[in-house]
Each structure stands twice: as structure tokens, then as C-alpha cells.
Amino acid sequence: MARIFAQHQPDAVMHLAAESHVDRSITGPAAFIETNIVGTYVLLEAARNYWSALDSDKKNSFRFHHISTDEVYGDLPYPDEVNNKEELPLFTETTAYAPSSPYSASKASSDHLVRAWKRTYGLPTIVTNCSNNYGPYHFPEKLIPLVILNALEGKALPIYGKGDQIRDWLYVEDHARALYIVVTEGKAGETYNIGGHNEKKNIDVVLTICDLLDEIVPKEKSYREQITYVADRPGHDRRYAIDAEKISRELGWKPQETFESGIRKTVEWYLAKMQWVENVKTGNYQSWIEQNYMERN
């Protein structure tokens, strides 16, 4: 790491590297501890050593931007748990941490390390917590690409439980714009939540994808008929939703894509990029999909 810092002389570090699939963290948490916690520590120390040797101007402008998840906050009350639907709470930057899975616990740990390096050593860090991303180049094990690709291959579309878990969906290009604004304009020591303002039940996401495929690549029967309900994930959080008012107010960022426009772009991208899909679906990917989704009971 020291050699890389010395060679490239960065003005900022954007730390996105992580193990990120909740199901994988349940069956194999060790990799999440090693990558998300120990890996963050290694990068923090390398950045601190590099930053410590900079002149004062470069020290002041340097940023270590740690990209995290809204899952560190746990879950939120579900609509049927409150009397007034207009007062449903959202995750804010001051929401207490309550991670539910090995994945979210590992990301929460890394968030705490980043903030500790700011307070203890003065390293100018920033943390962002985002909602569920979707869009081009999403790895096929995640919900949206998994549904698109399984549908096209005539396979079952696995839905955990009743599919009533609610997530806030953020188009990846909107997220990328937000990250750039934060790393170039954000204030050291701050946290910014980044969300898409698109709360959707998982089942509604799947139905939307099926309807788009029925429109774009129709077949004899609707893709909806491939939906299959499987046993729910252990400790599955019911609802996530981000309050992104701070980044909007202080840095002027707002999402540009609605879920309707973003999901159409996403479906069309996968239809046009099947060779990319084939290239990444190698190794133990298929056997993991079979074990994790198709063999649930």
C-alpha cells in the first residue's frame, strides 16, 4: 500500500472495496471481517502514513472518503406499525447504529474505525451511507440482475418470505455523482446519507421487472408466472429508507432518476450486455445461486 500511495500521490482516497452480500455474510462471515474491518484498517493506516508526510496545504485538502451502507442503522418501523403513514421515520445521519447481519456489523465496524482515525489522528475522513444501488454492471447475485437474468433463462424468480421487505432504491449513476460531490466539496468529519427517494417492496420491484420484460421481450406466458416464494433470510430487516436532506441542503445533490426511469434503463442495459453477464458468471457463482436460492425450504 505504501508503494501505491508513493507512486500515485493521491489527493483523496475513495474506499468502496467491500464484501457486500448479506446472504454470503451469513454463510461465511469470516471474509466480511477480513475484508470490511481488517481491510479498512489497513487502508486507513496506509492513508494516515501518506497524509502525515504531506505539506500543510495538501494535508488540509486531502480526504479519505469511506463509502458505507444504510444497513448499519438496522431497520425502520413498517407502515403497518405506525398510526400516521405520513410520519414514517427515515434514517438520518444521527440514527443510532443497530446492525442486524454479519455484513452490516462489519460495515458498522469499519465506519467506527474511520471516525476514530479522524478523532484520534486527525485524518480528514468523510463517511457516506447509501441505500440500495441498482443499474448497469450490478453483479448477478443481487436481486435486480438476478431477477432479470433468471427471467430470461426461464428459471424461478426467488422471493424471500412474502416479498414485503421495503428498500429505498438509488440508481448507480446518481450515487456516483453524489460520491464525487462529497469527495470534492464535503466537509471533513461529516457524514452524508445518500438515498433515491424510492421506497419499494421487493415483490413490487420484481413485478415491475416482469412487466418490463413482458413489454420488451414478450413470450407466450408472463414472466410473473416464474415468481417463486422461498424461506426468508434469517434476521431479515423489514424496511430501509434514507433521509438525504443534508446532502441536498449542504452540497446541492439530488437524484435525477426516478425508479421507473432507472429500472427501465437497467433492464435494457442487461438485455444489451449479455456477453458481459456470461463473462462474470464463472467459478462457483452458479452453485452458490442454486444453494442459496433454489434449494431453500
Catalytic residues: 70-71, 103
Q: Helix crossing, 39-52 with 102-121: angle to 10°?
A: 20
Where would I find the H helices in the chain? 2-8, 22-27, 30-32, 39-52, 56-61, 102-121, 143-152, 172-185, 202-216, 245-251, 259-272, 274-280, 285-289
Q: Are 15 and 67 in contact (CB under 8 A)?
A: yes
Cell of 225: 408466472
Q: Are 43 and 10 in contact (CB under 8 A)?
A: no
User: In Å, what is the CA distance from 293 to each residue of 91, 153, 158, 287?
Assistant: 29, 15, 6, 10
Burial of 142 (C-beta count, 10 Å sphere; 0-12/13-18/19+):
middle
Beta carbons within 8 Å of 203's beta carbon, 6+ residues apart: 159, 162, 163, 164, 227
Helix/strand/coil for 264: helix
d(CA 253, CA 133) in angstroms, rounded, equals 16
* Residue with the three cell numbers 485538502: 61
Radius of gyration of the chain (CA): 20
CA dihedral (272, 274, 275, 279) in degrees, to 10, reads 140
